[in-house]
Structure 1
Amino acid sequence: MRRTYYYFKYGNGWLREMYDSTGTVHWIYIDNIKQAYRTASMWLIQHLIVKELVEFDYHIEERDCYQKLI
């Protein structure tokens, strides 16, 4: 059984979190999936991340450990 990872697809790329010098999180758009934010926790998505991404029009992709769509 392979582990499922969840990626945040946004337009033609993905989202990644970045922190500034004050520790505030900022979500940015990137083209490379290997640098994209991924999580294996659906709980984390439902309770924390969704609240931070309200201004983005994104969808969640399920992929395996080799970045292939499931």
Structure 2
Amino acid sequence: MSARHPALARAETFAAAYGLRRPLLLAPMAGACPPALSVAVMRAGGPGACGALLMQPAAILAWAEAVRE
């Protein structure tokens, strides 16, 4: 009898709940989430992230525009 590891089951449940192709997540760390990294994660099937804690509103807008390109 083969049982799935509980961590794998949680990851699959998470991915299914959010409509993700892959159970991976980019942590939104301040200053460490450039648009290119988020785009790469999104292309791989996960959700992108913006570490906006230290960003001014104009910088957040510029980040979002870069991700949408």
Q: Give the TM-score taking structure 1 as reference length.
A: 0.27
Which structure is higher in RCO with an 8 Å CA cutoff and minimum separation 6?
A: 1
More helix by share: 2
Q: Give the TM-score taking structure 2 as reference length.
A: 0.28
More strand by share: 1
